[in-house]
């Protein structure tokens, strides 16, 4: 492996963000406001339950109130939308997170769209996506925001660079592509129909892997010195990048775990505090 490879430590980035947030949470407490994140969990998927526990634990450690709304697998779209609308109307709730994925049979997009834009701290609504596209989103999607935070923390240049995003989901691949574009990168979005994917990846100065397939990005695809951001997480603590092979060529790379993941949670907490401050100013 190259001796000058930079491992992008998401734990360190998240720690700094949380330290700054702790000061803001204390100031809100002095004003009689406790930031509150409501998480809606539908069904009994064990992975989703684990993610929710992690997020709630992170909230508690920072002094953010964490409210869990747990609904059964038999919940209908109408019932889920009604539960979300109740949270919209609750002035004590500042952010709403619908844990993805929801059980089969529920219209997930309808549920996302029920979240009020002022409480859409995970950037999942179509309005939030549009605001992100224009560079004015108060709450961009958390994983894309985490990727940008990592690049900025390590002062990795974006403007003028060729960025390739492998994956086009509406809450990861597409929004991070727009965020990179808004920062003056030249962006290519790749997907299952991309012809000669290795060549596309090989031309990139920045590679974002968001495809949801373990070790999908191969080492020989990576341009020497490229920045490799692995936004995937698969069973067995494996990302979307073949880490060992890609690290040989990369100039900077995120590990899994300990890369994008911790910063994603920190960005969710930051958005919740931002929302609480915004609502406090309106009182």
Model confidence over 159-192: pLDDT tens digits? 999 999 999 999 999 999 999 999 999 999 999 9
Encoding tokens for residue 24? 């803001």
Active site residue 122: yes
Active site residue 15: no
Model confidence over 74-93: pLDDT tens digits? 999 999 999 999 999 999 99
Catalytic residue, candidates 9, 18, 55, 223: 55
Catalytic residue, candidates 9, 18, 99, 274: 99
What's the rounded Cα separation, in Å, for the pair 209 and 240? Answer: 6
**Phi, psi at 15, each rounded to 5°:** -60, -45
At residue 1, the pLDDT reads 40
At residue 2, the pLDDT reads 42
Domains of the chain: 32-116 (3.40.50.10860), 141-261 (3.40.50.720)
Model confidence over 228-243: pLDDT tens digits? 999 999 989 999 999 9
Task: Name the residue among 6, 90, 3 with its Cα closest to residue 40.
Answer: 90
Catalytic residue, candidates 18, 119, 120, 122: 122
Residues in Cβ contact with 280 at an 8 Å cutoff, skipping those fewer than 6 apart: 28, 31, 33
At residue 59, the pLDDT reads 96
Total-model pTM: 0.95
Active site residue 119: no
Find out whether 138 and 274 touch, Cβ atoms under 8 Å. Answer: yes
């Amino acid at each position: 492996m190259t001796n000058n490879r930079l491992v992008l430590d998401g734990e360190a980035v998240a720690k700094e963000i949380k330290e700054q947030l702790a000061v803001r949470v204390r100031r809100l407490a002095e004003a009689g406001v406790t930031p509150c994140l409501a998480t809606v969990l539908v069904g009994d998927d064990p992975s989703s339950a684990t993610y929710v526990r992690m997020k709630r634990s992170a909230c508690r450690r920072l002094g953010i109130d964490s409210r869990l709304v747990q609904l059964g697998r038999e919940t209908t779209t109408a019932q889920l939308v009604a539960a979300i609308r109740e949270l919209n109307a609750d002035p004590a709730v500042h952010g709403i997170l619908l844990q993805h994925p929801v059980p089969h049979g529920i219209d997930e997009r309808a549920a996302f769209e029920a979240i009020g834009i002022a409480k859409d701290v995970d950037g999942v609504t179509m309005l939030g996506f549009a605001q992100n596209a224009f560079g004015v989103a108060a709450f961009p999607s958390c994983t894309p925001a985490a990727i940008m935070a990592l690049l900025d923390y390590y002062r990795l240049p974006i403007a003028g660079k060729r960025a390739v995003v492998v994956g086009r989901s509406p809450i990861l691949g597409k929004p991070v592509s727009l965020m990179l574009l808004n920062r003056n990168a030249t962006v290519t979005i790749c997907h299952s129909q991309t012809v000669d994917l290795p060549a596309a990846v090989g031309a990139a100065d920045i590679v974002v892997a968001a495809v949801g397939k373990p070790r999908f990005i191969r080492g020989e695809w990576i341009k020497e010195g490229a920045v490799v951001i692995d936004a995937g997480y698969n069973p067995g603590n494996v990302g979307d990048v073949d880490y060992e092979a890609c690290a040989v060529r990369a100039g900077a790379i995120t590990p899994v775990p300990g890369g994008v993941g911790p910063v994603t949670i920190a960005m969710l907490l930051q958005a919740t505090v931002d929302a609480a401050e915004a609502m406090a100013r309106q009182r």
